[in-house]
């Protein structure tokens, strides 16, 4: 028998997980004939190729090495590549260099940082209240340490939902920002971990799917007994979450108590000493819960491709392209059998032919985006912008006490960087499609004239510009370095000519220095820089 406390201990340490699963008869292993990530990649390629053939669609060409390097870097480690990395990658003759790049990126400490940022924004979509900056930084750290050791996805989710607060102020923030209200927790957990937008059903039966209002409240009932004990007297006590024996939910405008029941499943019973929350996590993260694995895979796909395989899991059998549903299900099955191994899933997806494709260009026939026969360009997120700026000019943030780690190892110090939080708060686009550009003029002005970009491009503070002043460099090399550092590509003939002429026109070394700064500015503010393509 699994005891509650044992299960919790397992979730929190992460390490004895395999033991726990062995005891309960779970995990798959390589010997049972399941496909390797390479075989799964080939299978995905095959399914998509069949689809393109049926639809008589020609996919776009394969992306260039520099396009792929910049794309994969932004997707997996949240920053653009450095100029030196671009040069190395271009010079590398190994045919497997793209595959090796993915492995390298997944092993980088920045991978964990980027995933933590991404998940923190998913878990708490509104910007955290400044008064909860400490909790937000703790949540970022809590997530980062788990992504760094590639903790099983089911254990990651279980650990989040079963937190008792106290020292774990990070994951407790998830409950705190939802006011520990059963209906808010239910709506959020259903959307994040089941891929189902249940909150419409909070007030009425779901308009498009057969989720009833009662389904919503029976799901919410699992969170009804999570309580926050009041602080005693004036003593400051850490925010704690405990599972009480009492607490129920009621249908709106009704006295009727709704007992806990798994969505489309059986009722849960109180009384065997297992809290409702624990019962929910056992059901939610179980290998047989297709919603859980589908939602994870659908999110992972959209993280790389800019749109999910299936728009909504609410009503998957009506409206979604059947081929995409099949692909989703096979990937979900792979994910379950891999032991909810997120890195293994990334390897499958990032090595597919579809992930190598170019963004469609002018003159291409309009493609149905659900065919994934071309890459969709995604605007850089505020954190991708900020982290990339910081990579270009680490000293621009020198005044920030949180940034004292050695250069190249800024992963942990980004957790609570107040400048990063402030930048993201002012740059965050309104909700919408991941591929849409939705900023306003204030955001554009901030990038054109604001402190962050000015700090990066000022001749006297920019280390990159300082390096370009070295006397042994030619103007052609300077221009090339600027392009590599920002757009991760070499300039074309027209660009070389324009930029070199601009430098040649300079009448003083001071103006020459300023001209380099202007070029840097123009590149950082270009549309090409603003997107991951």
Residues 6+ away with beta carbon under 8 Å from 432:
438
What tokens does 79 get? 């920053």
Residues 20, 7: contact at Cβ < 8 Å? Answer: yes
Beta bridge partners of 261: 267
Could you say whether residue 454 binds other proteins (CB under 8 A)?
yes
Q: Which is nearer to other proteins, 324 or 360 (CB)?
A: 360
What tokens does 29 get? 């292993």
Could you say whether residue 71 binds other proteins (CB under 8 A)?
no
Could you say whether residue 399 binds other proteins (CB under 8 A)?
no
CA distances from 504 to 472, 474, 492, 513 (A): 16, 11, 18, 12
**Of these, 437, 474, 476, 504, which contacts other proteins (CB under 8 A)?**
437
Q: Which is nearer to other proteins, 436 or 469 (CB)?
A: 436
Could you say whether residue 442 binds other proteins (CB under 8 A)?
yes
Residue for token digits 């969170």?
223
Q: Which is nearer to other proteins, 357 or 519 (CB)?
A: 519
Q: How many residues in the chain?
A: 533
Integer Cα distance of 337 and 447 in angstroms = 45
Q: Which is nearer to other proteins, 200 or 311 (CB)?
A: 200
Secondary structure (3-state) at 359: strand
Residues 228, 240: contact at Cβ < 8 Å? Answer: yes
Q: What crossing angle do the helices spanning 169-177 and 153-161 adopt, rounded to 10°?
A: 70
Neighbouring C-beta atoms of residue 481, cutoff 10 Å: 20
**Of these, 240, 429, 463, 500, which contacts other proteins (CB under 8 A)?**
429
**Of these, 494, 507, 508, 509, which contacts other proteins (CB under 8 A)?**
494
Integer Cα distance of 34 and 334 in angstroms = 8
Could you say whether residue 525 binds other proteins (CB under 8 A)?
yes
Shortest distance (Å) from residue 206 CB to other proteins = 11
**Of these, 261, 426, 496, 500, which contacts other proteins (CB under 8 A)?**
426
Could you say whether residue 518 binds other proteins (CB under 8 A)?
yes
Task: Give the total of residues touching other proteins (CB under 8 A).
Answer: 67
Residues 300, 349: contact at Cβ < 8 Å? Answer: yes
Could you say whether residue 132 binds other proteins (CB under 8 A)?
no
Q: Which is nearer to other proteins, 448 or 476 (CB)?
A: 448
Q: Which is nearer to other proteins, 342 or 453 (CB)?
A: 453
**Of these, 18, 311, 325, 439, which contacts other proteins (CB under 8 A)?**
439
Could you say whether residue 25 binds other proteins (CB under 8 A)?
no
Helix H or strand E segment including 257: strand 257-258
Integer Cα distance of 65 and 486 in angstroms = 15
**Of these, 407, 476, 498, 504, which contacts other proteins (CB under 8 A)?**
498
Neighbouring C-beta atoms of residue 184, cutoff 10 Å: 17
Could you say whether residue 166 binds other proteins (CB under 8 A)?
no
Secondary structure (3-state) at 49: helix
Interface region with other proteins, contact rule CB under 8 A, candidates 17-25, 212-220, 291-299, 498-506 = 498-506
Could you say whether residue 502 binds other proteins (CB under 8 A)?
yes
Integer Cα distance of 41 and 28 in angstroms = 19
Could you say whether residue 495 binds other proteins (CB under 8 A)?
yes
Q: Which is nearer to other proteins, 6 or 437 (CB)?
A: 437
**Of these, 178, 367, 478, 512, which contacts other proteins (CB under 8 A)?**
178
**Of these, 33, 233, 322, 430, which contacts other proteins (CB under 8 A)?**
430
Shortest distance (Å) from residue 447 CB to other proteins = 8
Helix H or strand E segment including 496: helix 493-504
**Of these, 16, 38, 125, 252, which contacts other proteins (CB under 8 A)?**
125
Q: Which is nearer to other proteins, 180 or 327 (CB)?
A: 180
Could you say whether residue 446 binds other proteins (CB under 8 A)?
yes
Shortest distance (Å) from residue 442 CB to other proteins = 6
Quick one: which of 59, 17, 40, 124 has its CA closest to 347? Answer: 40
Integer Cα distance of 341 and 27 in angstroms = 11
Rg (CA), the chain: 25
Neighbouring C-beta atoms of residue 208, cutoff 10 Å: 12
Residue for token digits 């840097």?
520
Could you say whether residue 395 binds other proteins (CB under 8 A)?
no
- Write the binding mask 322 to 361 for other proteins: x where contact by CB under 8 A, - elsewhere: -------------------------------------xxx
Interface region with other proteins, contact rule CB under 8 A, candidates 54-62, 320-328, 464-472, 511-519 = 511-519
Integer Cα distance of 3 and 266 in angstroms = 22
For the chain, the distance separating the N- and C-terminal CA atoms, rounded to the nearest angstrom, is 50
Could you say whether residue 377 binds other proteins (CB under 8 A)?
yes
Secondary structure (3-state) at 134: helix
Q: Which is nearer to other proteins, 118 or 274 (CB)?
A: 118
Q: Which is nearer to other proteins, 184 or 227 (CB)?
A: 184
Interface positions with other proteins (CB under 8 A): 125-126, 129-130, 178-179, 184, 187, 191, 197, 199-200, 359-364, 377, 379, 425-431, 435-446, 448-451, 453-454, 458, 492, 494-495, 498-499, 502, 514-515, 517-519, 521-523, 525-528, 530-531, 533
């Amino acid at each position: 028998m699994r005891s509650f406390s044992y299960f919790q201990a397992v979730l929190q340490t992460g390490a004895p997980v395999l033991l726990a699963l062995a005891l309960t008869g779970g995990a798959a292993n390589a010997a049972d004939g399941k496909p390797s990530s390479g075989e799964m990649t080939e299978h995905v390629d095959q399914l998509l190729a069949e689809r393109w053939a049926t639809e008589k669609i020609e996919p776009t060409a394969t992306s260039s090495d520099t396009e792929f390097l910049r794309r994969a870097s932004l997707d997996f480690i949240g920053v653009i590549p450095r100029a030196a990395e671009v040069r190395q990658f271009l010079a590398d003759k190994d045919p497997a260099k793209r595959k090796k790049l993915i492995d390298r990126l997944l092993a980088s400490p920045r991978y964990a940082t980027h995933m933590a940022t991404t998940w923190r924004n998913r878990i708490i979509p509104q910007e955290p209240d400044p008064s909860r900056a400490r909790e937000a930084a703790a949540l970022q750290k809590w997530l980062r340490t788990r992504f760094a050791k590639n903790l099983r996805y089911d254990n990651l989710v279980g650990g989040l939902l079963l937190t008792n607060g106290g020292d774990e102020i990070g994951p407790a923030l998830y409950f705190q920002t939802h006011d520990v209200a059963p209906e808010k927790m239910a709506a959020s957990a259903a959307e994040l971990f089941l891929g189902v937008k249940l909150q419409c059903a909070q007030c009425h039966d779901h308009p498009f799917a057969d989720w009833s209002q009662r389904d919503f409240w029976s799901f919410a009932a699992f969170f009804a007994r999570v309580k926050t004990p009041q602080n005693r007297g004036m003593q400051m006590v850490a925010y704690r979450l405990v599972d009480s024996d009492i607490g129920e939910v009621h249908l709106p405008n009704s006295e009727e108590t709704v007992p806990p029941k798994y969505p489309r499943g059986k009722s849960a019973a109180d009384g065997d000493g297992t809290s409702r929350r624990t019962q929910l996590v056992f059901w939610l993260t179980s290998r047989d819960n297709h919603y859980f694995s589908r939602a994870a895979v659908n999110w992972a796909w959209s993280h790389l491709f800019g749109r999910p395989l299936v728009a909504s899991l609410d009503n998957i059998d009506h409206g979604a392209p059947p081929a995409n549903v099949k692909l989703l299900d096979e990937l979900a099955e792979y994910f379950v059998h891999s032991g909810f191994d997120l890195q293994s899933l990334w390897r499958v997806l990032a090595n597919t032919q579809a992930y190598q494709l170019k963004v469609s260009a002018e003159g291409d026939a309009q493609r149905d985006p659900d065919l994934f026969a071309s890459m969709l360009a995604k605007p850089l997120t505020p954190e991708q912008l900020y982290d990339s700026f910081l990579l270009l000019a680490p000293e621009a943030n020198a005044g920030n006490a949180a940034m004292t780690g050695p250069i190249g190892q800024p992963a942990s110090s980004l957790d609570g960087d107040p400048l990063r939080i402030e930048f993201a708060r002012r740059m965050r686009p309104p909700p919408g499609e991941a591929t849409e550009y939705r900023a306003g003029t204030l955001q554009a002005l901030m990038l054109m004239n604001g402190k962050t970009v000015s700090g990066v491009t000022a001749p006297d503070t920019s280390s990159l510009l300082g390096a370009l002043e070295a006397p042994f460099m030619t103007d052609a090399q300077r221009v090339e370095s600027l392009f590599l550092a920002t757009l991760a590509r070499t300039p074309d003939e027209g660009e070389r000519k324009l930029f070199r002429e601009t430098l040649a026109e300079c009448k003083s070394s001071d103006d020459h220095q300023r001209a380099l700064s202007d070029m840097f500015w123009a590149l950082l503010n270009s549309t090409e820089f603003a997107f991951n393509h």
